[in-house]
């Protein structure tokens, strides 16, 4: 039996939720004979689950008032863990690991956790490093995150493994620019489009959309009819709007708002370059999705994006703090004269990203880690 | 409207394939009595069939299956694309030429030029298949809200599809075996939930999905879903937005080369459609209504008064138990998958058909979008109660089981069953809307399907997150009750009379606009938002207490229809107790008997 602790399954739609969904699917494949119980902290409704996971094995503390939620969730996971004594506890967020460490000391339960990125970077003291040291395995989503863990928390390198993110190539297929989106945003079919998909929140400004907005005047000078489509919603929007007015680039920017899942693939296909010169990506699933649609990708060279783009094999990595580098790269990419040849070969981009990161790879890597720690497939 | 069917990449002998395809086509003839056609690929391995009810471009140029000029693409299409003239003009501006005035050709050209995402631009109801003779691929799609049906079956790399299950069963690869999980589902909810169907291995292509078939493999993909977003609106802004989008929708739903009529009840939803229709049409409208002789159920008088107010040519069918019984046999002969509904649509469609109508608008969907059902209050309350009772630990489960076991009323047994389990919204929805408890459904499914068909997720299925619990109910009503019961029955029962039913509320643009309005305004009691949006609705409708469009079944079943239902009651392994439980078994037995399903 496995207990899986997750922040949420569907109440938010960020990288960690997407990762959690794949993680659950992979566990189902790897552990066909084990019961899997899911404990969610924030979900307010029962998510669509696969046939293998009984709804009675899904518990959530999400309907409790926010002030009580952490306590209720902790009580739930401790109570069930002590009652059922699972063979393994897996936490898809490091913040739950201090509870797991306590359970280990009390009842000898073993646990594994997933470290994404900003959740662990720069943490050097407190209960978290200790809790991670007690884990059977810490699965970092990128080499970058792993290196930071080893450096900041001085973890045992043997116990920190890399489990890169994954994506579904079936859901992300190349297509011509979808006409309904061209119409929705008043774009011409031949008009060059730069796309970023992110939440607009002050905590997410590290994604680099500010930098792209500031680069736009220079990019427009070289590519006059360029349009920057910034997709996503959040409380940072008024500030972004003000910044667009200040820069006088209103005509060249579309704030597309929230993108439902079923339109995401169409948005990738709308663009000519997917750009997110972020400084804080744990990995960046969006890069994989854009690549699967055959799109050239621009990313920062100071975070987990480096993994997603295979150290620059699949896309352009630049210094996210250098506006000049962003301008230069985007202009070259839009004018199709960037020296990286693969950028102009959509079929190859798709093929290579599938080879590196499609779901079967993910299952294989996770299975390997579980086996190495003597955790699968025997429990 | 029409019927479609097809078989892709079969290894059958040419004559055999044609015979099976013709059989499927014959089973769809009632859907399209005006014309029919078959396309057979040059290699004889792929065939498409069509039966046509001519509504747009009545000339032979609208014949289907339709091929493009190059002969590469072939389409068979059921439905109406209300914005086809706009799309046609845009395509013409892009340099496209057209042979017909039909919407079918516009779909074909849109797909040819823009690929799968073209479905996002179609406003209307549709189910179609396009075969690409060159690439040997197929593209099947269904409208965003599931108005038009499309069933398919795949075995050994051969895909066949049809508008109705009865037609699909004409392909020999589809075996008439009943699906136990679907029977169990049906007994729990009163209808079969897509993508399941009553026949094993036959699936319904879900609403808002398309299917791509290539090299003997297929994948389905969602392209649209309902999503409530709760944006800032003042009450006047909300009412104005609702009026604008409904007026636009009613106008679009009048696109037709034959006259369009309206189904009128005594309720707000259909009266609103009529009120807005008089704004967009100058010609005198025709309205149809069913009235019954039981004053507790009769809506005929209110509808007649409304019709007089709007000066329509009004027709009323007075339905009493003997007339109903006479129609019941015909209803059974023409019904598809079982459901506890549909008889009323069948009767009113017959009335419209008898008066020569071909296209009719209905107020279906208003209740789901604007909170017309008791479930909007009851489901959140039940979820809350179940959660708080959860503090009692296993006492809750014990208490719930006792209530389930010892209560007499079916609704209390469902309540007990729900309180004993998870506090999910889906479970509460079943508690309010359901028919049998899981225990009862398993006993009955074992009797009719040979296995109990129980699945853990049957009741506590997942629901995509929505801003408020009441939005969640709206989502459930739109994607469960309306999609699997109301729309299925409406399609089947109107098509039984060669009548095209159009549903202006069940429109992507309407849903997208309305979904942005916060639940507090959108779902205000008494459909206040609709009354504010359309003040033309007369007071006698606005102030009337809400009633469902029901017949006095309870009375009829115990009196005039007693002999028909007596046997069902006596052979049942458990007490049936009320009309909808009796009806559900009656409809199930009829379905199994008629299709000779084992």
pLDDT (0 to 100) of residue A378? 45
Q: B219, A262: Cβ pair inside 8 Å? A: no
Considering the domain architecture, whether residues B148 and B287 belong to the same structural domain is answered as: no
Task: Give the CATH number of the domain where residue B39 resides.
Answer: 3.60.20.10
Compute the distance between CA of residue B50 and CA of residue B145 in angstroms, rounded to an integer.
Answer: 23
pLDDT (0 to 100) of residue B597? 64
Confirm if B99 and B59 have CB atoms less than 8 A apart: no
Min CA distance, A264 vs chain B (Å)?
10
Compute the distance between CA of residue B273 and CA of residue B364 in angstroms, rounded to an integer.
Answer: 10
pLDDT (0 to 100) of residue A376? 58
pLDDT (0 to 100) of residue A200? 83
> Which one is predicted more confidently, A11 or A101?
A101
Consecutive sets of 10 residues in chain B, 598 residues long: mean pLDDT of each?
91 93 94 89 95 77 89 95 95 91 94 94 97 96 97 96 95 94 95 94 97 93 92 95 97 89 94 96 90 83 95 91 85 87 89 92 96 95 91 87 93 95 91 95 94 86 88 96 94 90 96 96 96 96 76 78 82 86 92 77
Does any domain span residue B573?
A: no
**Helix or strand holding residue B591 (H, E):** helix B579-595
Min CA distance, B224 vs chain A (Å)?
6
Nearest-Cα residue of chain A relative to residue B219: A170
Considering the domain architecture, whether residues B145 and B71 belong to the same structural domain is answered as: yes
Judging contacts by C-beta atoms under 8 Å, the chain B residues touching residue A48 are 461-464
pLDDT (0 to 100) of residue A375? 65
Does any domain span residue B19?
A: yes
Q: A180, B121: Cβ pair inside 8 Å? A: yes
Confirm if B288 and B352 have CB atoms less than 8 A apart: yes
pLDDT (0 to 100) of residue B93? 93
CATH fold group of domain A2-166+358-372: Rossmann fold (3.40.50)
Residue A181, class by beta-carbon neighbours within 10 Å (0-12 exposed, 13-18 middle, 19+ buried)? buried
Judging contacts by C-beta atoms under 8 Å, the chain A residues touching residue B227 are 260
Q: A47, B462: Cβ pair inside 8 Å? A: yes
Range of the domain at B414: 375-467
Task: Give the CATH number of the domain where residue B548 resides.
Answer: 3.40.50.620
Q: Which of B114, B208, B229 sits opposite A176 (nearest CB)?
A: B114
**What interface predicted TM-score (ipTM) does this complex get?**
0.84
Confirm if A55 and A46 have CB atoms less than 8 A apart: yes
Compute the distance between CA of residue B551 and CA of residue B556 in angstroms, rounded to an integer.
Answer: 9
Does any domain span residue B186?
A: no
Compute the distance between CA of residue B463 and CA of residue B588 in angstroms, rounded to an integer.
Answer: 28
> Which one is predicted more confidently, A233 or A293?
A293
Min CA distance, B358 vs chain A (Å)?
32
Whether pLDDT at A379 is above 60: no
Q: Report which of B379, B588, B382 is spatially closest to residue B475, judged by C-alpha positions.
A: B379
Enter the CATH code of domain A179-356: 3.40.50.2000
Min CA distance, A180 vs chain B (Å)?
6
Considering the domain architecture, whether residues B51 and B150 belong to the same structural domain is answered as: yes
Considering the domain architecture, whether residues B274 and B320 belong to the same structural domain is answered as: yes
Judging contacts by C-beta atoms under 8 Å, the chain A residues touching residue B219 are 170
Considering the domain architecture, whether residues B318 and B366 belong to the same structural domain is answered as: yes
Q: Which of B467, B495, B527 is the last residue of a domain?
A: B467
Q: A45, B121: Cβ pair inside 8 Å? A: no
The segment(s) of chain A belonging to CATH 3.40.50.2000 are: 2-166+358-372, 179-356
Judging contacts by C-beta atoms under 8 Å, the chain B residues touching residue A46 are 422, 424-426, 460-463
Min CA distance, A261 vs chain B (Å)?
9
Judging contacts by C-beta atoms under 8 Å, the chain A residues touching residue B225 are 260-262
Min CA distance, B127 vs chain A (Å)?
19
Q: Which of B174, B192, B227 is the last residue of a domain?
A: B174
| Residue from A179, A181, A235, A292 to probe the interface with B (highest B Cβ count within 10 Å) | A179
Judging contacts by C-beta atoms under 8 Å, the chain A residues touching residue B116 are 175
Considering the domain architecture, whether residues B47 and B141 belong to the same structural domain is answered as: yes
Beta strands of B151-216 (E only): which ranges?
Answer: 151-155, 158-162, 202-204, 209-214
CA A358 distance to own-chain centroid:
14
Residue B83, class by beta-carbon neighbours within 10 Å (0-12 exposed, 13-18 middle, 19+ buried)? middle
Buried b (16+ CB within 10 A) or exposed e, A357-373: bbbeebbebbbebbeeb
Compute the distance between CA of residue B458 and CA of residue B435 in angstroms, rounded to an integer.
Answer: 13
Number of folded domains in chain B?
3
Q: Which of B141, B174, B207 is the last residue of a domain?
A: B174
Considering the domain architecture, whether residues B456 and B379 belong to the same structural domain is answered as: yes
B84 CB neighbour count, 10 Å cutoff: 24
Buried b (16+ CB within 10 A) or exposed e, A217-241: ebbbeebeebbbbbbbeeebeeebe
Compute the distance between CA of residue B140 and CA of residue B76 in angstroms, rounded to an integer.
Answer: 10
Average pLDDT over residues A160-172: 92
Q: Identify residues of B whose CB sits under 8 angstroms from chain A CBs.
A: 114-118, 120-121, 208, 219, 221-225, 227, 229, 387, 421-426, 455-457, 460-466, 472
Q: B117, A178: Cβ pair inside 8 Å? A: yes
The contacts of residue B592 (CB under 8 Å, 6+ apart) are: B178, B448
Confirm if B209 and B221 have CB atoms less than 8 A apart: yes
Q: Identify residues of A whose CB sits under 8 angstroms from chain B CBs.
A: 10-11, 43-49, 51, 54-56, 63, 170-171, 175-176, 178-180, 183, 258, 260-262, 266, 269
Q: A260, B227: Cβ pair inside 8 Å? A: yes
> Which one is predicted more confidently, A363 or A207?
A363
Considering the domain architecture, whether residues B393 and B509 belong to the same structural domain is answered as: no
Confirm if B288 and B263 have CB atoms less than 8 A apart: yes
| Residue from A10, A36, A46, A69 to probe the interface with B (highest B Cβ count within 10 Å) | A46
Considering the domain architecture, whether residues B390 and B439 belong to the same structural domain is answered as: yes
Q: A55, B118: Cβ pair inside 8 Å? A: no
pLDDT (0 to 100) of residue B220? 93
**Helix or strand holding residue B316 (H, E):** strand B313-319
Compute the distance between CA of residue A263 and CA of residue B469 in angstroms, rounded to an integer.
Answer: 25
**Helix or strand holding residue B501 (H, E):** strand B500-502
Q: B462, A44: Cβ pair inside 8 Å? A: no
Q: Which of B114, B118, B425 sits opposite A45 (nearest CB)?
A: B425
pLDDT (tens digit per residue) in A310-344? 999 999 999 999 999 999 999 999 999 999 999 99
pLDDT (tens digit per residue) in A138-155? 999 999 999 989 988 888
Q: B221, A171: Cβ pair inside 8 Å? A: yes
The strands making up B151-155's β-sheet, listed across from edge to edge, are B35-40, B47-52, B3-8, B158-162, B151-155, B202-204
Considering the domain architecture, whether residues B405 and B524 belong to the same structural domain is answered as: no
Does any domain span residue B220?
A: no
Confirm if A4 and A27 have CB atoms less than 8 A apart: yes
Considering the domain architecture, whether residues B367 and B381 belong to the same structural domain is answered as: no
Considering the domain architecture, whether residues B388 and B352 belong to the same structural domain is answered as: no
């Amino acid at each position: 039996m496995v207990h899986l602790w997750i922040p949420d399954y569907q109440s938010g739609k960020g990288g960690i939720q997407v990762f959690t969904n794949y993680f659950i699917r992979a566990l189902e494949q790897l552990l066909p004979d084990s019961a899997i119980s899911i404990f969610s902290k924030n979900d307010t409704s029962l998510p669509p689950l696969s046939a293998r996971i009984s709804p009675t094995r899904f518990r959530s503390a999400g309907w409790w008032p926010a002030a009580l939620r952490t306590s209720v969730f902790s009580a739930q996971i401790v109570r069930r863990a002590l009652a059922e004594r699972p063979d393994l506890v897996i936490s898809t967020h490091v913040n739950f690991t201090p509870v797991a460490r306590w359970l280990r000391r009390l009842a000898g339960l073993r646990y594994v956790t997933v470290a994404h990125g900003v959740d662990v970077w720069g943490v050097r003291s407190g209960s978290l490093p200790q809790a991670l040291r007690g884990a059977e395995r810490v699965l970092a989503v990128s080499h970058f995150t792993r290196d930071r863990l080893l450096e900041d928390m001085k973890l045992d390198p043997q116990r920190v493994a890399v489990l890169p993110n994954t994506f579904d190539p079936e859901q992300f297929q190349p297509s011509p620019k979808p006409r309904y989106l061209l119409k929705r945003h008043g774009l011409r079919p031949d008009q060059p489009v730069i796309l970023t998909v992110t939440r607009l929140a002050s905590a997410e400004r590290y994604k680099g959309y500010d930098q792209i907005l500031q680069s736009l005047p220079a990019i427009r000078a070289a590519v006059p009819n360029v349009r920057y489509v910034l997709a996503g919603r959040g409380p940072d929007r008024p500030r972004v709007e003000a910044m667009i007015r200040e820069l006088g680039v209103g005509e060249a920017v579309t704030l597309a708002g929230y993108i439902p899942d079923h339109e995401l693939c169409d948005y990738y296909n709308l663009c000519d370059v997917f750009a997110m010169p972020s400084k804080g990506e744990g990995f960046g699933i969006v890069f994989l999705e854009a690549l699967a649609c055959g799109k050239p990708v621009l990313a920062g060279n100071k975070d987990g994006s480096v993994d997603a783009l295979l150290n620059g094999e699949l896309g352009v990595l630049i210094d996210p703090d250098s506006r000049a580098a962003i301008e230069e790269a985007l202009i070259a990419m839009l004018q199709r004269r960037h020296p990286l040849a693969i950028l102009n070969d959509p079929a190859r981009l798709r093929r290579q990203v599938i080879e590196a990161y499609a779901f079967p790879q993910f299952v294989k890597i996770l299975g390997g880690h579980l086996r190495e720690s003597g955790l699968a497939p025997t429990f | 409207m029409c019927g479609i069917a097809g078989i892709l990449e079969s290894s059958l002998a040419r004559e055999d394939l044609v015979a099976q395809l013709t059989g499927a086509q014959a089973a769809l003839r009632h859907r399209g009595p005006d014309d029919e056609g078959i396309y057979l690929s040059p290699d004889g391995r792929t065939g498409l069939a069509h039966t046509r009810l001519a509504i747009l471009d009545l000339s032979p140029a609208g014949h289907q299956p339709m091929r493009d000029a190059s002969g590469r693409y072939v389409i068979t299409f059921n439905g109406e694309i209300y914005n086809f003239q706009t799309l046609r003009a845009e395509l013409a501006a892009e340099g496209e030429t057209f042979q017909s005035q039909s919407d079918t050709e516009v779909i074909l050209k849109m797909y040819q030029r823009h690929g799968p995402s073209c479905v996002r631009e179609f406003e209307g109801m549709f189910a179609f298949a396009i075969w690409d003779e060159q690439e040997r691929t197929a593209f099947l799609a269904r409208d965003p809200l599931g108005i038009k049906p499309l069933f398919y079956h795949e075995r050994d790399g051969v895909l066949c599809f049809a508008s109705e299950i009865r037609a699909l069963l004409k392909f020999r690869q589809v075996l008439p075996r009943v699906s136990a999980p679907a029977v169990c589902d049906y007994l729990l909810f009163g209808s079969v939930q897509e993508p399941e169907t009553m026949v094993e291995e036959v699936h319904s292509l879900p609403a808002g999905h398309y299917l791509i078939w290539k090299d003997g493999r297929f994948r389905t993909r969602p392209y649209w879903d309902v999503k409530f977003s709760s944006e800032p609106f003042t009450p006047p802004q909300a009412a104005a937005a609702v009026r604008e989008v409904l007026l636009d929708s009613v106008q679009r739903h009048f696109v037709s080369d034959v006259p369009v009529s309206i189904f009128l009840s005594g309720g707000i939803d259909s009266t609103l459609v009529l009120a807005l229709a008089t704004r967009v049409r100058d010609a005198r409208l025709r309205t149809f209504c069913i009235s019954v002789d039981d004053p507790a159920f009769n809506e005929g008088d209110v509808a007649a008064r409304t019709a007089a107010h709007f000066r329509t040519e009004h027709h009323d069918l007075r339905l009493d138990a003997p007339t109903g019984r006479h129609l019941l046999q015909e209803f059974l002969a023409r019904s598809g998958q079982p459901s506890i509904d549909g008889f009323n649509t069948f009767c009113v469609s017959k009335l419209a058909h008898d008066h020569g109508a071909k296209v009719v608008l209905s107020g279906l969907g208003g209740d789901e979008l604007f909170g017309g059902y008791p479930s909007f209050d009851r489901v959140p309350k039940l979820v809350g109660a179940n959660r708080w009772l959860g503090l009692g630990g296993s006492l809750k489960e014990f208490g719930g089981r006792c209530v389930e076991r010892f209560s007499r009323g079916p609704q209390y047994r469902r309540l007990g069953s729900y309180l004993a389990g998870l506090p999910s919204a889906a479970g509460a929805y079943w508690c309010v809307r359901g028919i049998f408890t899981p225990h009862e459904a398993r006993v009955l499914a074992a009797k009719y399907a040979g296995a109990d068909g129980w699945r853990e997720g049957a009741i506590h299925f997942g629901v995509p997150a929505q801003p408020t619990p009441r939005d969640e109910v709206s989502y459930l009503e739109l994607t469960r009750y309306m999609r699997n019961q109301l729309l299925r029955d409406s399609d089947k029962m109107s098509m039984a009379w060669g009548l095209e039913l159009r549903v202006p509320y069940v429109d992507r643009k309407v849903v997208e606009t309305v979904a942005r309005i916060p639940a507090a305004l959108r779902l205000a009691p008494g459909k206040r938002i609709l009354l504010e949006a359309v003040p033309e609705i007369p007071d006698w409708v606005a102030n009337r207490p809400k009633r469902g469009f029901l017949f006095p079944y309870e009375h009829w079943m115990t009196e005039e229809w007693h002999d028909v239902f007596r046997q069902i009651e006596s052979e049942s392994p458990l007490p049936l107790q009320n009309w909808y439980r009796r009806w559900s078994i009656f409809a199930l037995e009829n379905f199994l008997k008629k299709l000779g399903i084992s």
